[in-house]
Chains A and B, each alone.
Chain A
Amino acid sequence: MNNSKNELPPFVKSWKQFYYLLLFWLVLLIALFYAFTKYFQ
């Protein structure tokens, strides 16, 4: 098993950036679902 500390995620420069990307994705989904709920209710 490779335990390299320097292994980086794709598309971004660090793991921290990937975590922020995931947080942004969650907020975006909640906003979209809210718009979906309001539009169709």
Chain B
Amino acid sequence: MSNLDWAVLLVTLLGIVGYGVYKSRGTRSMDAYLLGGQSMPWYTVCLSVMATQASAITFLSAPGLAYSSGMSFVQFYFGLPLAMIVLCITFVPIFHRLKVYTAYEFLEQRFDFKTRALTAFLFLIQRGLSTGITIYAPAIILSTILNINVTYTTLFMGGLVIFYTVFGGTKAVSYTQLLQMTIIFCGLFAAGVMVVHLLPESVGFGKAIDIAGKMGRTNAIDFDFSWTNPYNVWSGIIGGFFLQLSYFGTDQSQVGRYLTGSSVGQSRLGLLMNGLVKIPMQFLILLIGVLVFTFYQYNKAPLFFNSYELHKLERSEHRAELANIQLKHDRLFEKKKQEVEKLDAALSANNQALINQQRTLVKQYDEEGKTIREELKALMIKNDADAATNDNNYIFLSFVTEYLPKGLIGLLIAIIFLASMGSTASALNSLASTTVVDIYKRLINKSANDGQYVNASRWATILWGVVCIIMALFTSKIGNLIEAVNILGSFIYGTILGVFLVAFYLKNVGSKAVFYAAILSEAVVCVLGFNEVVAYLWLNVIGCLGVVIFAYLFQNLIKEKAVEIEVPV
């Protein structure tokens, strides 16, 4: 990185951290610290919700996914608009009117403390683990730039985020996310323009997509139903709906965001706008990955995008074998480039017969490339059994640092940091609020004043920050980070959502029935998930429906009287 890039990066980072600290001054009450005084307009709610979901992982992993397997991941978000509608009809008005700090408070009013504690516990486990991954993602960036072990960069990044979050509080998190998303949109647009600009003169935007499409990278829609394919229209709409409804309706990191809305209407509008914008945004991020793929058809891609792992192999006793693989990779690139240029010419001439012939050839070379990479991965494992053999998360990063102009590199890396800080701040804030509101205030210290609870929240943030850093240190062996977060969520979200749906819609079901139904359903999800019986998105559906069905059956066996709660209008 040049001095200009470092300057852009540092000024942006320190500016955001300073802004967070500045915004947190004078925060003395729990309402202000955990709910931002419920004063935010819809556009702040919308961008805050988007910034919480779109972590650094979104900008690192999604282009990498599109590069290696195409755009099918966009279908994952098809359930989101439907989930936003259900949230706006049911969850938002009830949470607002009951004036809860956390979603789980509502469950004690509807059922009992053990149900509240169970869901809060499941949330803490899931969010604690996935926030570790969120911290790890930007740590990769520093690792690659400085060429040092990712452990040290994880410690540095985690420490910076804890410092910012402890002082930030919810209000500052929301305001900084507003700025962060604005910068992120501008930076991604600039990155997209630059990729097209770097392509050969004969290859414009349309042709770049056309070439990637002929090599199977524009597969945005797949209508074929499958229980095991994670990305098709049906798993996206049905499984995605349950996952997104669980995430936005029961995950405190999101509930805490839209509860900051100044009214039910402002919270609703923020969520519905998110439903309008999210899918096109994700499509465009994946499209950048597709353009990067086409770029590397004309410019030789690294043999392996994680340079740290490659350097390890270069210094090992296996360097002769590595050189041999590198030679095969170089030769294949030259052959493939010639065929891609012929495909380019065939597309210009609109010669369908030649297009079909070249498509078969370049796809064949693409498969050969994958075989060479498998050979390399086997060598990496032979050299070091703990080597990280998945480099998806490094693809976009490697392109940015290698080919983008000075200044823009610093800006794009700052964007990845900002995204990470925003989502990690939300996560740590929600972990702290759940720990303090649902455990500390409820069980340990019921009669403290507001200032003491704010201090407890700050200590809880530090504690969770340290736990998440420890989790992050174990993350390096996980393949694609964005998938890892979603898989982890799918194991737990469905069960929590089921508990909330029973609370809202099965008014005759009591606390014992729903509690045991939740435990049984979670056990079923774990058995199916660990044995990979179905693709992970379906675990959300199974977990949720499991709770609803088991709770209904148990209620008929137990015949327990349910508590009715009145929701103020």
Contacts and interface: CB of A to CB of B under 8 A. Distances in A.
Contact of A26 (B78, B213, B221, B283): B78
A2 B220 CA distance: 42
Interface stretch (B61-69, B265-273, B334-342): B265-273
A4 to B, nearest CB: 6
B275 interface: yes
Interface stretch (B81-89, B380-388, B477-485, B508-516): B81-89
Contacts, number: 80
Given A4-B263, A33-B221, A41-B213, A9 B82 contact: no
B78 A30 contact: yes
A23 B265 contact: no
A19 B88 CA distance: 9
A22 B213 contact: no
Interface residues of B, number: 38
A33 B218 CA distance: 9
Interface in A1-21: 1-5, 7-10, 15, 18-19
B272 A30 contact: no
Contact of B569 (A1, A2, A5, A23): A5
Contacts of A5: 569
A23 B84 CA distance: 10
B263 A26 contact: no
Contacts of B280: 29
B265 A19 contact: no
B210 interface: yes
B345 interface: no
B216 interface: yes
Interface in B8-24: none
Q: Is the interface of B mostly helix, strand, loop or mixed?
A: helix
A41 B89 CA distance: 40
B263 A37 contact: no
A16 to B, nearest CB: 9
A2 B269 CA distance: 14
Interface in B96-123: 96-97
Given A3-B97, A3-B264, A8-B265, A41 B85 contact: no
B96 A37 contact: no
Contact of B263 (A2, A18, A30, A41): A2
A11 to B, nearest CB: 11
A22 B85 CA distance: 8
Contacts of B213: 39-41
Contact of B220 (A1, A18, A22, A33): A33
Contacts of B569: 3, 5
B279 A29 contact: yes
A38 to B, nearest CB: 8
A1 B262 CA distance: 5
B1 interface: no
B29 interface: no
Nearest to B38: A1
B272 A7 contact: no
B265 A4 contact: yes
A37 B272 contact: no
B338 to A, nearest CB: 22
9 contacts: A1-B262, A5-B569, A10-B269, A22-B85, A23-B81, A26-B81, A26-B82, A29-B279, A39-B213
Given A9-B272, A29-B279, A36-B221, 13 more contacts: A1-B96, A3-B96, A3-B264, A3-B569, A7-B263, A7-B266, A18-B272, A22-B85, A25-B81, A33-B74, A33-B220, A39-B213, A40-B214
Q: Which 4 residue pairs are nearest across A and B when measured between Cβ atoms?
A: A40-B213, A7-B265, A2-B263, A33-B220
Interface of B: 38-39, 74, 78, 81-82, 84-85, 88-89, 96-97, 209-210, 212-214, 216, 218-221, 223, 233, 262-266, 268-269, 272, 275-276, 279-280, 283, 569
Interface of A: 1-5, 7-10, 15, 18-19, 22-23, 25-26, 29-30, 33-34, 36-37, 39-41
